[in-house]
Structure 1
Amino acid sequence: MTTHACMRAGSMGKLWAGLVLLHVLLLPASAAVCAERITLTLKAAVTLDRDAVRLADIATVSGVSAMSLKSLGATVVATAPLPGKTRFVDIDYICIRLKQAGLDVDGITFQGPADVRITRNSATLPSKRIEKAVEAAIRNRMPWKNEDVTIREITLDDAMALPTGELTYRIVPSRNEDYLGRTRLALHLFVDGEPVRKTWVNATLSVMTDVVTVIKPLGKHQHIDPADLKVERRDLADLPSDTVRHMEDALGSRATQMVYPGTVLQLSMIALPPLVKRGDIVKIVANTGPLTITATGMVKQQGCIGDLVRVMNTDSSRIITARVTGPGSVAVDF
């Protein structure tokens, strides 16, 4: 045990004692507290749940009235460490903080250890509860059917130390999140209503969907028949954006390249056969209100259904742009 005073007290005569008494009576309350010859007995170690460290937390105060004891004990002398961490506060630091609080520390005597070990209590993140909340948040926001989606590998920093108190949280998805494959969400944590931490949660989504696959080799320009294809379930996260998902989107088309069995069919691998070719004679139809005008034309380029092609009117030799509507037929849009 050590004894320490912020200044030495010399011998005083009766006159000096009277002057001191008069001075104490005229001092503010904070200074008068220290004039009561306070003894602070420091504790070796304390554990706290809050940010502010008050004098009463780390020391036993004696030599003061009950009113002064309450006021002095409430004085903040340090900031607690982060949750789960430890710091030490020594006598010199306590004196500085008491002076900053407006107290006259000249007459304070310290007893006990030279410093105090301060530990901050902490709470752990309830990972199972957070994981359930994350899965619920994903399923509420994703565009897929629940039965098609499996959510796995939800990971978060569950080793973090949090302040003690009532924990609440808010889950926010990343901007433009597509909920495919690796998905990232922000986790905002609050204790007793105050924000304390922002962290990230990762999850992996498997979205199973129907896709069209090739079961027979398809040569370039080969016409595609039902016997060449089948529908399978695949994870959408592993597929390109132009994946063919419906059989009818591929039937009647031709392969634009060699396609091998087991390949997931893509729109870039197929093309509809042209309905008109360069040099074909076609019927030109122009509708304007109740009036329908027809003419004969010669196609100057090949085109599929819905394509815009150049057509020469065989009567006027004028080149117009028309839309392919079927074999041997084009339409002019007004």
Structure 2
Amino acid sequence: MDSIRNYNRQGMIGSRLCLFVMVLLLLQPALVTAQDQTVVRIAPAAEINSDRILLSQVARIAGPDPLLIARLGNIDIGRAPLPGRKRVIESRHILARMNKSTGGLPRDIGLDFPQRLEVSRKAVTIAKERIAEIAAEWVLARVPWDQENVRVAKVQANTAVVLPQGRVTYQVKSPGKLDFLNTIALSVQFLVDGQAVKRAWVTLNLEVIAPVVVVRKPMGRYQPIESQDVTVVLKDLAKLPSGYFTDPAEVIGKRVKRTVYGNTVLREDLVELPPLVNRGDVVTIIAEAGALRITARGEVKAKGRKGERISVVNLDSRKRVSARVLDARTVKVEF
């Protein structure tokens, strides 16, 4: 068995040496001394950090002529693999590139190549968890509430990103207006040395604990809301419909539009101002034009809240006019 291993090892060494000698014989019509020779040696594997593969990145080039060494080192072997990936290149491909770039290799060059070269690309991987963390930090820095009352309930990045090595920075953007109480979608653009390379998408939801106004007990339709009828409790705003109230003063003096149960969160669609005037009420009609002010008695033909326009009949002329409700006893005709 040992003799077989030794035989295989000797065979591999012999093949490599044979390739080296054959290249020398084919490309060099005359022998040169080792001292005068430029030698290009390539190991079976190399790791790079660029978009193109240069000979200097995968080979050791030694010789007496610095200009020739630089010229050989700048030979472009081909496209580099993607960051974190590998590419296998045949030795004949490298020789073809060298011949094409130099117009035929000089006589005093020695070549020591493997049959195949495996090139890998350096990379930096940003995990999905880190991308999600970046997005969450960006959102929390912009919420309109105290951060102690806000937490990220759910966050998910769609993918990890693999980047070439370099100075990594990122930019977080929202494709639209931020709505903190609904699902937030963000893009995270990664840059390497100032150049945009990869983009990931993140979705997240917040939990926002804040005070909201609720009724203490059941209330009937059109029942006026008084201070003892409401209180403030802490709720997750993200789970509430829009239009909630945070200050009891916003609802006191209004009435509920329909029957509500105890602990119901009051919203704009559940409350309204009670009408100041009702059909049949007698009010004072005011009409003003510059310094001229005219008043008359009128009969209300439809209920109305403060600021609303209603129909009123002038009791003197019997004409119907449109007037704005000022209070429970006064309406105003506007020209």
Conserved 8 A contact 1:95-1:105: no
Letter in 2 for 1:182: T
- Considering only aligned residues, what root-mean-square deviation do their CA atoms show, in Å? 3.4
Instruction: Provide the residue aligned with 2:266 in structure 1.
Output: 265
For 1:62-211, list aligned pairs within 5 A: 65-98=65-98, 101=101, 103-104=103-104, 111-125=112-126, 134=135, 137-151=138-152, 153-156=154-157, 159-211=160-212
Instruction: Provide the residue aligned with 1:215 in structure 2.
Output: 216
Instruction: Provide the residue aligned with 1:291 in structure 2.
Output: 292
Q: List per-residue Cα deviations over 1:208-260 (Å, max 9, x = no partner).
A: 33211122112223333333321112222222222233222322333222212
Letter in 1 for 2:271: I
Offset, 1:154: 4.9
In 2, Cα distance between equivalents of 1:10 and 1:167: 46
TM, length-normalised to structure 1: 0.79
Conserved 8 A contact 1:124-1:158: no
In 2, Cα distance between equivalents of 1:233 and 1:53: 62
Letter in 1 for 2:46: V
Offset, 1:143: 3.4
Secondary structure of the residue that 1:175 maps to in structure 2?
coil
Offset, 1:68: 1.0
Secondary structure of the residue that 1:267 maps to in structure 2?
coil
Offset, 1:180: 2.7
Offset, 1:262: 2.4
Instruction: Provide the residue aligned with 1:22 in structure 2.
Output: none
Instruction: Provide the residue aligned with 2:43 in structure 1.
Output: 43
Q: 1:293 to 1:44 in 2, by over 3 A?
A: same
Q: List per-residue Cα deviations over 1:89-135 (Å, max 9, x = no partner).
A: 11233244335535325978754421111111112338898777655
Letter in 1 for 2:236: D
Offset, 1:145: 4.1
Letter in 2 for 1:103: G
In 1, Cα distance between equivalents of 2:85 and 2:274: 72
In 2, Cα distance between equivalents of 1:51 and 1:141: 38
In 1, Cα distance between equivalents of 2:26 and 2:228: 107
Offset, 1:158: 7.8
Q: List per-residue Cα deviations over 1:177-226 (Å, max 9, x = no partner).
A: 12334323322222222222222344433333321112211222333333
Greater CA drift, 46-55 or 165-174: 165-174
Q: List per-residue Cα deviations over 1:36-70 (Å, max 9, x = no partner).
A: 99764432111112222111222344678332122
In 1, Cα distance between equivalents of 2:323 and 2:242: 31
In 2, Cα distance between equivalents of 1:138 and 1:52: 38
1:321 is the counterpart of 2:322: yes
In 1, Cα distance between equivalents of 2:147 and 2:287: 49
In 1, Cα distance between equivalents of 2:221 and 2:207: 33
In 2, Cα distance between equivalents of 1:203 and 1:43: 48
In 2, Cα distance between equivalents of 1:217 and 1:99: 92
Q: 1:218 to 1:162 in 2, by over 3 A?
A: same
In 2, Cα distance between equivalents of 1:278 and 1:99: 102
In 1, Cα distance between equivalents of 2:204 and 2:126: 17
Offset, 1:272: 2.3
Letter in 2 for 1:178: D
Q: 1:101 to 1:287 in 2, by over 3 A?
A: farther
- Percentage of pairs with the same residue: 31
Secondary structure of the residue that 1:303 maps to in structure 2?
coil
Letter in 2 for 1:174: P
Aligned residues between the structures: 312
In 2, Cα distance between equivalents of 1:175 and 1:248: 33
Letter in 2 for 1:258: T
